[in-house]
A and B are shown apart, each in its own frame.
Chain A
Amino acid sequence: MIYEEMTNNIRSVCEKLLNSNDVEVIVAYRGGGVEGMQIPYFAKTPEDVQNIEWGDRCYQNIAPYVHGLSKKVGILAKPCDARILTQYITEQQIKRDDVYIIGVDCVGMVDENGDPRPGCPDCMVRKPPIYDEYIKDDRVDSLDLSPPASEDGGLEANFERFRKEIDKCIMCYACRQACYGCYCKTCFIDRDLPDWQPAEIDAGTKMTFHMGRTMHLAGRCVECGACEASCESGVNVRYIIKEVTKFIEDEYGYSAGMDPEQVPALLVNKFDDREVGFLGGETHG
C-alpha cells in the first residue's frame, strides 16, 4: 500500500533527523487514539518514530503547533500545512530556520466516515510549496484538478444564503479557534473598546463577526477547510472566504502560503492599482 510505503519513508527521515539532534521534536501523526482518525503526535526520540503514521486521515492541521516556537522543530507538512508554515514565516511568527519541513504530497483527506474533508475536493495545491525533505505520492500527478466555480448567485440569493447560515451560528468561535490564521491574542470580537459585539447577540453581530473574520483572512486563507469542519452547528460561511480568496488571486496575483518571499496582497501598496467599484472608477498611473 502506498501509505505504508510513504509511512516508512517518513519514519526513516524522522529517525535520521532525531538521531542528528538537529531538532528536539517532530510534529507528525500517529494512528489509534480516536477511531477513524490519525491524530497529532510529537516524536521526541528515535524510538518514537515507529509510532508515526501517514494516511488519508491526517486531516488535522498540525502546523499551528509550531506557531510562536523559537526552538528548532521538525514537522510533517501536507500542502495546506506547508502553506500555513509559509504564512507564519511571511507574517514573522516563525523563522524559516526554526522549522525542518518534511513535505508530503496529498491526494485529499477523508473524515471518520470516509467522506472527503471540507476543503479537500476543491484544493488546488497538492504538493507542498516549501520543504527540506520531500515525500512523494505519485497519485497527485494524475489528479484532475479544476478550480471551483464561483458561488456568486446574485445579490438577493447571496443575502438569503448568508442569512440562512448566520441563523444557525451560535457564536461559539470554534471556527476561529480551528483557523491557523486566527492567532490574535485578543480577537476583535472579544474586545470591549471598541465593542464590536453588543451584549445582545443578534444577526447583525453574527454577520459582523463573520465578515470581520473574512476581512482578516482575506489573502491569508489557505483553504484548509478547518473552519467549516469545526462547526458543530453546521454553519458554512467558508464559501464567502473562498470567493474573496479567489478575487485576490485574480486581482492581485497573490495566493497565500505559496512563496515566503512574496509580500501578502493587502500589505502591498501600488500607485497604479485598479480601483474596481470606486466612484468614477478612475485608475491612476
Chain B
Amino acid sequence: MKGLTQLEKWEPKIVAFLCNWCSYAGADLAGTSRLQYPPNIRIIRVPCSGRINPLYIITALMEGADGVMVSGCHPGDCHYLSGNLFARRRFVVLKKLLQTCGLDPERVQFTWVSASEGGRFADVIKEVTENVKKVGPSEVANCGSKEAQA
C-alpha cells in the first residue's frame, strides 16, 4: 500500500439492514451462488424493513459507519403486508432530514431485493459501495463517542 494517500487507502464501512424474508434470503442466494461483491458491508438481519427505527440508521452513522443500506421486500411482497410501505415514507423523510442536517443523504441507501434476486443483491452492494466511496468518509465520524468507535 506504499505510495497511496490516506484517502486512497480508505475503505468505507457500510451497515446493511436486511429484512429476514426477502433481502436477507437474497444475500444468502448471492453467497451460495458465489457471486462477488465488495466486502464493505456488515449485515444486520431485521424481521422487516418496517422494523427499522430511523434511530438505528442515525446511530450507525454517529458511531462510525460511513454508509447505511436498508433493503426490504419489494412493495406488495412484504411478509407483513405493509411494513415496507410504512418504512418507505419514513425513509424518504429521513433522507430529507439528513440533507437538512448536512449529512450527505447519499450515505444512506434504500432499496428492495427479493429472495430470488441474488444477482441484484450483488449489484446493489456494488452500487452502494461506489456511492458511499464517492461521498467519502462520514462528516460525523468524529462526533460519536470514542468507545463506540473503537
Contacts and interface: CB of A to CB of B under 8 A. Distances in A.
Interface string B76-112: 1000001001101111111111011111110001110
A266 B86 contact: yes
Contact of A152 (B85, B100, B111, B127): B100
B144 A158 contact: no
B30 to A, nearest CB: 16
A270 B86 CA distance: 8
B147 A200 contact: yes
A211 B97 contact: yes
Contacts of B94: 215
B35 interface: no
A45 B104 CA distance: 57
Given A266-B89, A273-B89, A279 B110 contact: yes
Interface string A88-110: 00000000000000000000000
Given A159-B139, A205-B145, A207-B140, A266 B93 contact: yes
Contacts of A140: none
Q: Is the interface of B mostly helix, strand, loop or mixed?
A: helix
A205 B145 CA distance: 8
A265 B92 CA distance: 12
Interface residues of A, number: 50
Nearest to A239: B100
Contact of B76 (A204, A277, A284): A284
B92 A251 contact: yes
Nearest to B89: A266
B129 to A, nearest CB: 12
A267 to B, nearest CB: 8
B85 to A, nearest CB: 3
B54 interface: yes
A188 B55 contact: yes
Nearest to B74: A284
Contacts of A214: 97
Q: Is the interface of A mostly helix, strand, loop or mixed?
A: helix
Nearest to A265: B89
A202 B95 contact: no
A155 B54 CA distance: 20
B136 to A, nearest CB: 12
Contacts of B75: 271, 284
A258 to B, nearest CB: 18
Interface stretch (B20-28, B38-46, B56-64): B56-64
A198 B104 CA distance: 24
A277 B96 CA distance: 9
B126 to A, nearest CB: 11
A33 B36 CA distance: 72
Given A208-B55, A280-B111, A240 B90 contact: no
A269 B92 contact: no
A211 B128 contact: no
A3 interface: no
Taking each of A208, A248, A277, which has the highest tally of chain B beta carbons within 10 Å of its own beta carbon? A277
16 contacts: A155-B104, A159-B101, A198-B148, A203-B143, A208-B59, A211-B58, A211-B97, A212-B55, A212-B58, A218-B97, A271-B75, A271-B85, A279-B111, A279-B127, A284-B74, A284-B76
Given A200-B146, A207-B58, A266-B90, 12 more contacts: A155-B104, A158-B99, A207-B143, A211-B58, A214-B97, A215-B58, A215-B97, A244-B97, A248-B93, A276-B92, A277-B95, A279-B127
Interface of A: 152, 155-163, 188, 196, 198, 200, 202-205, 207-208, 211-212, 214-215, 218-219, 239-240, 243-244, 247-248, 251-252, 265-271, 273-280, 284
